[in-house]
């Protein structure tokens, strides 16, 4: 009961988690917050989505993922209107979250001292970077601050990419656009670019729930960042969201091909399919089995539950 009351205080208080772990919550608390996830976890309790799912997620669309989540009742998982380091380079990964707040000298000094006592090294904005694993996306709320809210420059950008091989999503600013752009494979979604340094900002939550604009993010969420924006898919829904999106894509490819070949009319393809069209689609899947994004077994299991 005490642990759950502490979690409630964390959530109500804007996700400020101050304890002996230095801005982090315990493994048990993180498992409690993500209890629907039944797969592998990192040592700290964060859900560890499999690498093959991350790879498949690169090919799904924001719209398909958004529609799936809305149907599941998850209405606050998308944030748009970003400035992108590389506009056409999508990236995916597991969320490692950080929450920053305006600094207050007495509190900040205690938190820094506590962090150093518990093994943290250097300034607070480097602590999340030290925790990154390959396949992670550093997701940070900097309360929309751009001037003096620049979390990283090219030095920290290189450190992030060396560990994660992905990129960052910052609800705040960044600097050194030209230097960051030279990091091959790295991308950044930020709210603004500014040459200033990070000032009057302190880390209040590390690997805790956080808010990114209109979206709520938990550690371990699947991050899908594309030109339209960023969507955060709960870890326990990631596999189903991916195969749902892949199935919709297959349906669309089949429908487009049938329209080009004149085998069906738009009215037939754009409505509830008849049994004849369903049979033609199943045959098309057989003929294109080598190009399926999922295994045929996965697809067959999915279609058993699918309402066409």
Residue 64 placed within a domain: no
Q: Would you state the pLDDT for residue 71?
A: 95
What is the phi/psi pair of residue 141, to 5°?
Answer: -95, 115
Maximum CA extent, the chain:
72
Asked if 170 and 287 sit in the same domain, the reply is no
Would residue 229 be called left, alpha or beta, if left means φ above 0 and alpha means ψ between -120 and 50 degrees? Answer: left
Asked if 125 and 204 sit in the same domain, the reply is yes
What is the DSSP secondary structure assignment for residue 274, as one 8-state letter? P
Neighbours of 207 (CB within 10 A): 26
If one counts the domains in the chain, the total is 2
Asked if 40 and 181 sit in the same domain, the reply is yes
Q: Would you state the pLDDT for residue 21?
A: 56
Asked if 143 and 288 sit in the same domain, the reply is no
Residue 53 placed within a domain: no
Ranges of the chain whose pLDDT falls below 50: 1-2, 4-5, 7-20
Identify the domain containing residue 213 by its residue range. Answer: 2-48+80-233
> Given the structure tokens 């689609």, which residue do they identify?
281
Asked if 225 and 258 sit in the same domain, the reply is no
Beta bridge partner(s), residue 95: 137
Asked if 93 and 181 sit in the same domain, the reply is yes
Digit-coded pLDDT (tens) for 17-72: 444 456 789 999 999 999 999 999 999 999 999 999 999 999 999 999 999 999 99
CATH number reported for the structural domain that contains residue 137 in this entry? 3.50.30.40
Asked if 115 and 14 sit in the same domain, the reply is yes
Q: Would you state the pLDDT for residue 22?
A: 61
Q: What is the pTM of this model?
A: 0.89
Q: 142-170 b/e with 16+ CB inside 10 Å = b? A: beebbeebbbbbbebbbebbebbbbbbbb
What is the phi/psi pair of residue 161, to 5°?
Answer: -70, -35
Distance separating alpha carbons of residues 25 and 14, to the nearest angstrom: 14
């Amino acid at each position: 009961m005490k642990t759950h009351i502490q979690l409630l205080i964390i959530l109500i208080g804007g996700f400020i988690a101050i304890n002996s772990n230095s801005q982090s919550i315990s493994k048990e608390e993180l498992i409690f917050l993500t209890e629907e996830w039944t797969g592998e976890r990192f040592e700290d309790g964060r859900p560890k989505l499999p690498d093959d799912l991350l790879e498949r997620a690169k090919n799904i669309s924001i719209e398909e993922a958004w529609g799936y989540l809305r149907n599941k009742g998850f209405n606050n998982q998308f944030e748009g209107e970003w400035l992108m380091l590389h506009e056409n380079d999508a990236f995916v990964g597991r969320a490692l979250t950080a929450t920053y707040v305006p600094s207050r000298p007495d509190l900040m000094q205690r938190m820094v001292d506590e962090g150093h006592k518990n093994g943290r090294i250097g300034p607070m904005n480097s602590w999340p970077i030290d925790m990154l694993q390959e396949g992670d996306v550093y997701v940070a709320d900097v309360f929309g601050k751009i001037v003096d809210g620049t979390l990283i420059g090219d030095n920290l950008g290189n450190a992030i990419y060396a560990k994660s091989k992905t990129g960052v999503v910052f609800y705040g600013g960044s600097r050194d656009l030209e230097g960051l752009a030279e990091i091959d494979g790295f991308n950044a979604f930020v709210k603004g670019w500014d040459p200033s340094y990070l000032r009057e900002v302190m880390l209040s939550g590390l690997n805790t729930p956080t808010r990114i604009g209109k979206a709520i993010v938990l550690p371990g969420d699947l991050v899908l960042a594309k030109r339209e924006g960023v969507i955060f898919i709960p870890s326990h829904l990631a596999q189903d969201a991916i195969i749902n999106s892949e199935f919709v894509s297959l349906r669309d490819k089949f429908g487009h091909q049938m329209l080009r070949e004149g085998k069906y009319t738009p009215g037939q393809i754009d409505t509830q399919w008849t049994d004849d069209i369903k049979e033609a689609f199943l045959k098309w899947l057989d003929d294109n089995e080598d190009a399926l994004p999922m295994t045929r077994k996965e697809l067959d299991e999915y279609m058993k539950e699918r309402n066409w």
